[in-house]
Amino acid sequence: MSQTRRDFLKSTGLVALGLNAPLFVSRTAALAAPAHKPGARDTILVVVELNGGNDGLNTVIPFKNPLYAKYRPTLQQSTSQIKKLTDEIGLHPQLTDFADLHQEGHLCVVQGVGYPNPDQSHFRSMDIWQSASKVDNPTEGWIGKALRQIPGAPSFHLKNSGERAPLALDGAPARVPSIASLQDFQLQVAGGTDAKAQREVIEGSAKPGGTRKPGLLDFVQRTASNTYASSRRLQEIGKNYQPKATYPQTQLANKLKLAAQLIDGNFGARIFYVSLGGFDTHAQQAGAHANLMQQLSGAVAAFFKDLSARGHKDRLLVMTFSEFGRRAKENGSKGTDHGSAAPMFLIGGKVKPGLVGAHPSLEKIPMGNLEHHTDFRQVYAAVLDQWLGVSSKDVLGGAFKPVGVFRS
Amino acid sequence: MADTSETRIDPRWAWEAYRPNDKAPWDLKRAGHLYRRAAFGATPTELQAALKKGPQKAIDDLLAGGPGQDAFDKQTEQLAESIVRVNNGQQLRDWWLYRMLYTPHPLREKFTLFWHNHFATSNATVQNAGFMYRQYRLLRKYVLGSFAEMLKEMSLDPAMMVWLNVKDSKKGNPNENYARELMELFSLGIGNYTEHDIREAARAFTGWTLQGNDVVYTESQHDLGEKSVLKQKGKWKPDDIVRICLEEDSAPYFLTKKLFRFLVSETMTPSRELLEPLATSFRKSGYDFGDLVRTVLRSNLFFSDQVYRTRIKAPVDFALGIVRGLEGRIGSTPLAGVLEQLGQSVLYPPSVKGWDGGEAWLNGQTLLFRQNLALALTSTEDIRFGHRCDPAALARKYGKKDDKELVDFFLDLFLQGDVAEESRSRLLLFQEKSHKMKVPVYWTAQDAADNRVRTLCHLVLTQPEFQLD
């Protein structure tokens, strides 16, 4: 570990926390990657899940292709409004901020991403994307597995109230905390002079005894121990944070603002997971989808600006995905049914700007679906190997050729 | 979480009626287990009464419900109608929670909630309290009745028609949403049908729309052609599709497995052999769900150590267990707000898959919210819940005063005394030391004593075992 880093940890009192420190704090420094390897600069990954199946065809649009207008009699976007990336491909009109990021060279669009024999169940397909595997009933996620190679990397699921932790984070050495806000992340006890004694009873019961068997009780105790320790630590973080960009008033923007706060807390936070729901647009899609596009690009762009202004631009990578795209042709309810291939966005200081791969064919649509040409695990492989510095082969259970999404 | 292996469980033994014996005596632990799983927890009186009654009578009484059901139903129905008139979905949610809290028939509400999770329809999309209320009544009508009938009616239930787009599905342009979830989530489970089956079945659900509050069939919009669904060919209508699904071998297994997870264990994955007796009689009975529930509730396996505390409490179970245990009378609106933070807003499930349950309920944030809710409910100082749920009043009612008596009273009530010895010692030590705590000068001796009881109760509720069901 570098001297400055050790000094920093000492000065913030993290080393002094010793055994009481949550796993993520006590292990971070020791496992930072060597300087010449990817991940050495404490790269940050923010995964944005677009839940419900995002309509890829109306996100990254082949506006010159006459079949586009034909397949989408009511849902087509007008050519004049589309944010053009090339002479043939453009972004949804509400992806204004993404178009700006593209201009600045910070947006990469991987087209036609999917996997063989696509499944059109939300839940099954989401499991496949999150576990990066096709086993039945997966119990481990791709990020959870990656965290085994960087076990101390502080990671967070930033959630809406009521949202469960994603499968993608399961399988990590310590359960990744889900957090709604810093204020909420506190253990309260009754007022009075014995507040400390009350906390000791509560925290004492969370310490697993020597003879305990693995099982649900052990799970509850592990979750509780880690939570109580994290909660104490996080109360100190982000108190002096002032955003350096204007975030829109949306849930997604609030979550990304919290991520910025945690990154600004400077304890090495590296992986964040957030989700945006509402993409299952079977009916009356136009307004709902436009709104989602705007929320997505507005929140991510503000986040990127804020962190850039704080000097984290080259450490940051935001990646979006959805469990599937939607059917090429719209249905009779001015919506679209479940489909397959769709684009992914990568935003960051180090991404290779522009389009990667061709738009899926509109001529050849088996079962009415756009066909993928890039396996999502090739994108994961690039992120794992070249960004996080984690062996993708171990995480993905096989070798996938990384897609070129980073500037060399 | 690794699955518990259950290869050694004999299916015949598993589903035979439980008779108390030396190895599995009828004790406080088992009475508490029954009231947690089949209801929303027990009061001190109920627990003691159940101990005296024995398991058969205790189960019979839970299945029958207590006195005053008609009056309760009548009173709450009037309330629901006024909520429906102003189309306030959130109030309807609070209203249902009120029913769960104070009904004389908790088992019926508990299983209605099971079905709500099965057909998981959200008013976030439906936006119609009247439709949601109608669906709630449909679930309650068949709660321990015929699943086949419920599924038929559900296919053309207005809330469902909005939720999964049946109302927009027309001949030539079918919307596949309902057909897919009917097979994947309501009757068969993934892997037991093909994409082709979905596309064909979707055609059978075309032609039904909503006009105002009425379901209307327009023959010109219905696809009258032949459909091939699950290898059966015909000019199928919605009822036929439901029938065809329920004729599949996978259907009774899919449903019994879901009930197993709800009532028996989340950590044990039941083998096909273990489910076979249940699935077979479920199908034979024409999908009589009440029969199935009664068999499982009375069974050896249900009362066995293997399945004890093998579920994580759902937020509703966690919160209602406290309120009912303390014989509290709080308002359901503030409680519904907290439950939303805990991840369970009834009538607003996160997706058509319902709540995942199990370990998904607990993460750093929700655990803290749970512990903080326990404090809010027991402190009598929280502006949302106030004095209407007071551990000190309960302890007085049951005549508990000494430190030891109090520790055991709350441990028995909420955990049936089943915690590690060191946890009990820690609580007892805390309680003894708390006599020395400084209190405000204006407090009476009674104020100080009451305060100590409330704090103790909160600490009992924060024990990790209390998260388990």
Over residues B212-233, the pLDDT tens digits come to 999 999 999 999 999 999 999 9
Provide the residue type at A129 as one letter: W
- Distance of alpha carbon B264 from the chain centroid: 13
Cα distances from A344 to residues A366, A380, B65, in angstroms, run: 21, 11, 54
Question: What confidence score (pLDDT) does residue A152 get?
Answer: 72
Cα distances from A320 to residues A27, A46, B421, in angstroms, run: 28, 9, 49
Q: Taking a contact as any Cβ pair under 8 Å apart, which residues of chain A between 166 and 185 contact chain B?
A: 175, 177-180, 184-185
Tokens of A137: 């009933």
Q: Which of A42, A55, A110 is nearest to A296 (CA)?
A: A55
Same domain, A16 and A100: no
Residue A343 lies in a domain: yes
Q: Which of A88, A143, A128 is nearest to A111 (CA)?
A: A88
- Which of B176, B353, B465 lies at the smallest CB-CB distance from A217? B465
- Which of A164, A216, A230 lies at the smallest CB-CB distance from B1? A216
Same domain, A285 and A377: yes
Residue A401 lies in a domain: no
Domain assignments of chain B as residue spans, ordered by start: 315-467
> In A249-367, where does DSSP find H-type helix?
251-264, 285-309
From the CA of B340, how many Å to the nearest CA of chain A? 6
pLDDT tens digits, one per residue of B153-206: 999 999 999 999 999 999 999 999 999 999 999 999 999 999 999 999 999 999
Q: Which residue positions in chain B have pLDDT lower than 50?
A: 1-3
Secondary structure class of B149 (helix, strand, coil) = helix
Q: Residue B455 and residue A198: Cβ atoms within 8 Å?
A: yes
Secondary structure class of B85 (helix, strand, coil) = helix
| Crossing angle (nearest 10°) for helices B315-325 and B403-415 | 140
Residues in B closer than 8 angstroms to A215, CB to CB, are: 1, 4, 267, 310
Same domain, A136 and A211: no
Long-range (24+ apart) CB contacts under 8 A made by A391-394 are A391/A149, A394/A145, A394/A149
Residue A137 is classified by DSSP as: S
- Which of B1, B180, B350 lies at the smallest CB-CB distance from A163? B350
C-alpha A391/C-alpha B151 separation (Å) is 48
Residues in A closer than 8 angstroms to B364, CB to CB, are: 175, 177-179, 185, 223, 226-227, 230-231
Residue A3 at interface with chain B, using a CB cutoff of 8 Å: no
Question: Residue holding tokens 């100190």?
Answer: A236
From the CA of B65, how many Å to the nearest CA of chain A? 31
Residues in A closer than 8 angstroms to B353, CB to CB, are: 122-123
Best of B5, B407, B455 to substitute, by most chain A Cβ atoms within 10 angstroms, is B455
Same domain, A180 and A201: no
From the CA of B300, how many Å to the nearest CA of chain A? 22
Same domain, A28 and A96: no
From the CA of A22, how many Å to the nearest CA of chain B? 12
Q: Residue B267 and residue A163: Cβ atoms within 8 Å?
A: no
Q: Residue B362 and residue A220: Cβ atoms within 8 Å?
A: yes
From the CA of B71, how many Å to the nearest CA of chain A? 34
Question: What confidence score (pLDDT) does residue B131 get?
Answer: 98
Scored b (16 or more CB within 10 A) or e, B105-142 reads bbbbbbbbbbbbbbbbbbbebbebbbbbbebbebbbeb
Element (H, E) at A170: none
Count contacts between A and B (CB, < 8 Å): 180
Provide the residue type at A36 as one letter: H
Cα distances from A179 to residues A158, A216, A259, in angstroms, run: 5, 22, 10
Residue A403 lies in a domain: no
Query: What does each of the 408 residues of chain A score in pLDDT, given as a tens digit?
Result: 343 333 333 333 333 222 233 343 333 333 444 444 555 558 999 999 999 999 999 999 999 999 999 999 999 999 999 999 999 999 999 999 999 999 999 999 999 999 999 999 999 999 999 999 998 888 899 999 999 898 778 889 998 876 788 999 988 877 788 888 888 888 999 988 899 999 999 999 998 766 657 789 998 998 898 889 878 877 777 667 889 999 999 999 999 999 998 888 777 789 999 999 999 999 999 999 999 999 999 999 999 999 999 999 999 999 999 999 999 999 999 999 999 999 999 999 999 999 999 999 999 999 999 999 999 999 999 999 999 999 999 999 999 999 999 997
From the CA of B298, how many Å to the nearest CA of chain A? 24
Residues in A closer than 8 angstroms to B366, CB to CB, are: 178
Same domain, A229 and A161: no
Q: Residue A201 and residue B459: Cβ atoms within 8 Å?
A: yes
Tokens of B464: 């990790």
| Gyration radius (Cα) of chain A, Å | 22
Q: Residue B363 and residue A178: Cβ atoms within 8 Å?
A: yes
Residue A315 is classified by DSSP as: G
Residue A406 lies in a domain: no
From the CA of A3, how many Å to the nearest CA of chain B? 32
Q: Residue B368 and residue A184: Cβ atoms within 8 Å?
A: yes
Q: Residue A219 and residue B1: Cβ atoms within 8 Å?
A: yes
Q: Which of A186, A289, A279 is nearest to A236 (CA)?
A: A186
Question: What confidence score (pLDDT) does residue A367 get?
Answer: 92
Same domain, A47 and A154: yes
From the CA of B341, how many Å to the nearest CA of chain A? 5
Minimum CA–CA partner of A207 in chain B: B464
Counting the structural domains of chain A, the total is 3
- Which of B174, B375, B468 lies at the smallest CB-CB distance from A190? B375
Residue A405 lies in a domain: no
Residue A402 lies in a domain: no
Q: Taking a contact as any Cβ pair under 8 Å apart, which residues of chain A between 314 and 343 contact chain B?
A: 331-333, 335, 337-338
Q: Residue A223 and residue B367: Cβ atoms within 8 Å?
A: yes
Minimum CA–CA partner of B456 in chain A: A198
Cα distances from B308 to residues A213, A271, B135, B227, B355, in angstroms, run: 14, 37, 33, 47, 22
Length of chain B: 469
Minimum CA–CA partner of B353 in chain A: A123
From the CA of A181, how many Å to the nearest CA of chain B? 9
Element (H, E) at A107: strand A107-114
Question: Residue holding tokens 């960004």?
Answer: A387
Domain that holds residue A201: 196-234
ipTM, two decimals: 0.94
Q: What percent of chain B has pLDDT over 70?
A: 99
